[in-house]
Amino acid sequence: MDAVKRHLLFDDKLQQIQAVHALYKMTETKVGKMSVIGFQSTHQVPELEYLLNLCCHGDVAISQTAQQCMVSMLNQKLVDLEGCIKNTLKLVSTVPDLTSLLTFLVSLMELQMTSMGLNCPVHPLVKVYEITSADQWQQLAVAFSNSLFTINKLSSASQQECRWKELMTYHKVFLEALVSSTTDKCSGILSMAISTCISYHQYLDYTICTLIEILQQTQNIFSSNNVMVLEILWQAVGMQTPGERVCTLLVEFTLAVAVSSTISYNIWKLIDSRAIQMVAFPNVYSLD
């Protein structure tokens, strides 16, 4: 492994990539001879640990090659997926830049959804959110956006719609953590996450229903986070009106939140009564 480390110090990208592949072959051989799969026991495999560190390397060529190698081992069932996720999360506080680590986590989340279903014991982005500081949350928001973008890997509209519902269910825990946060600085990442969700206009009805369900479950429905999410949802409704059932749900929850005199001004500043009437009673009010 010392030879691999030496070659990674070279400026030649080809030699660096070859070094990563050499490490991969060494790791694959060693883990393949073990009685348990990688990351599933307390038995340490230095090559595997080093390969995981390279997955989070600051150099894109090195990190991408290492990630491809690790995913290959995961697909071969040589490495435990949950163990890989947990060990990757341990690196969050040690890496100087989260970009490569979060890119790798998005790949792991996709595998997690596929292999374990939607009731996963650990949601990686929640853990990253809990560990990191506010100045790193924009990168976290980008990772969340990239995880939703995986829907475009599916060709048919029916497959995409089904996957969108799975994605919203899977990420519900992450969105709940953001909405329930009492940290003032979380508004930025919350706004970006919600805006990303509703940017997929073709799934607006399902998205609004999911988000309102999350808002209804918060301990304080009058919180500033709830108000902000409602404002974003109403902006989306202004661009593309959802179905009548969803509109009614949105109106009812908005009215419930607006009961609080401390925030009603902020709500009605964006949504006047006529706007709600037009959505709630489309047969009575027209846009003319």
pLDDT bin (cut points 50, 70, 90) of residue 269 is low
Retrieve residue 118's tokens. 């939607």
What are the Cα distances from residue 150, in Å, to 99, 159, 174?
A: 17, 12, 17
74 alpha-carbon distance from chain centroid:
20
- Residues 86, 193: Cα–Cα separation, whole Å: 23
Q: Is the pLDDT of residue 275 over 80?
A: no
| Average predicted confidence (pLDDT) for the chain | 85
82-134 per-position pLDDT tens digit: 899 999 999 999 998 899 999 999 999 999 887 766 566 678 999 999 999 99
Q: pTM for this structure? A: 0.85
pLDDT bin (cut points 50, 70, 90) of residue 185 is confident
191-241 per-position pLDDT tens digit: 999 999 999 999 999 999 999 999 999 888 888 888 889 888 888 887 777
pLDDT bin (cut points 50, 70, 90) of residue 272 is low
- Residues 135, 203: Cα–Cα separation, whole Å: 31
SS3 274: helix
What is the reported pLDDT for 144? 95
Contact 65, 34 (CB under 8 A): no
pLDDT bin (cut points 50, 70, 90) of residue 287 is very low
Sequence-ordered list of residues with C-beta below 8 angstroms from that of 149, at least 6 positions apart, any chain: none
Retrieve residue 8's tokens. 């990674």
